[in-house]
Amino acid sequence: MHLVRITPRPGRRHRVLQVSGIAVFLLLAMPWYVAVTLGNPGLFAYFIGDEVITRITTNHFNRHGEWYGWVQVYVPTLLLGTLPWTPAMLRWTLTLPASFRHWRRDPDSRAAEAGWLLLTLWLLLSLLVLCLARSRLPLYALPLFLPLAVVAAMQRQREGRTLPRWRWLAAWAAVLVALRLATAYWPTHKNAAGWADAIRERADMPVREVVFVEDMARYGLHLHLGPGTQIERVALDPAPQSHFNPSFDEPLAMELAEGEQGVVWVCKQARWPEVRRRIEAMGFRATPLGTPYRERVMFRVQPVAAVR
């Protein structure tokens, strides 16, 4: 019985891109994608359209899509994220032009330094894709830190440098933990704990649901108001939405028709007049709850007949 060989034969020159590797990837991964796509109608259009084409070619998701957005996001992420080995990374970066010229002209050196070539292409090609895509966030660069760590270690070994003493590493780890704790307490409009406190202070009833009108939903409120509390995001007008990951849970009229009790509504202060006018036009009255919080108005909604 003969087995099909999917690895390079001994003695043959290795190539950066092996067709056999692509075949193994398709054999292992493609069946899962096909099964999930067939089992969820519309998933393929959402996956390729919204999550690939739209994120790469447009700034639809407001993820630093300006032409200079990659500088704002990835440069500080890589410079700060590779500390304390950033100097080693910068020294390696300065050697890249000469290394590429050497690899292009001398096949033997390219084969001898295949490890360096693999790491370089792994890192730079991935970074190029991240920079060209117009949806950019620091967390997108996290997979790059694996090749970056290997490059930093190999660069220090090439230079004959040893690793820092464990005391320095322990001190740096303590600094990172302290920074993480500090950011956890840094005030931000996304802090769900602050939102929960503000809602409790203003609500004169048990809160069972929080509805954000044309605003970003703070889903972390589940953790602070109780797991049974519903968090929804509604639109003023009905609009066609994707079956997967829709922008809004439902339109305003549908949410009002449900007539649920214990609901706190939230909208941006700048849109409060418009939101109140829309609600009153549908036969309901919107009553502010206390003062605005982070430029948002919290209010409750009641049918006009119930108010009278």
DSSP state at residue 293: B
Round the CA-based radius of gyration of the chain to a whole number and report it: 27
DSSP state at residue 193: H
Determine the Cα–Cα distance for residues 295 and 101; give it in Å rounded to an integer. 56
Half-sphere exposure of 295 (CA within 13 A, CB side): 8
Q: Please write the tens of the pLDDT for every residue from 231-270.
A: 999 999 887 766 777 777 889 999 999 888 899 999 999 9
Higher pLDDT, 163 or 65: 65
Whole-prediction pTM: 0.70
Per-residue CA distances from 274 to 226, 267, 269, 271, 289 (Å)? 31, 10, 10, 5, 17
> What confidence score (pLDDT) does residue 246 get?
74
Q: Give the residue extent of every domain in the chain.
A: 58-182, 192-307
> What confidence score (pLDDT) does residue 274 get?
95
Q: For 213-230, what is the mean pLDDT?
A: 90
Query: What pLDDT band is residue 5 in, cutting at 50, 70 and 90?
Result: very low
Determine the Cα–Cα distance for residues 226 and 38; give it in Å rounded to an integer. 37
Higher pLDDT, 185 or 234: 234
Q: For 169-195, what is the mean pLDDT?
A: 83
Among 4-13, 145-154, 171-180, which is the least confidently predicted range? Answer: 4-13
Among 22-36, 138-152, 154-168, which is the least confidently predicted range? Answer: 154-168
Q: For 115-131, what is the mean pLDDT?
A: 92
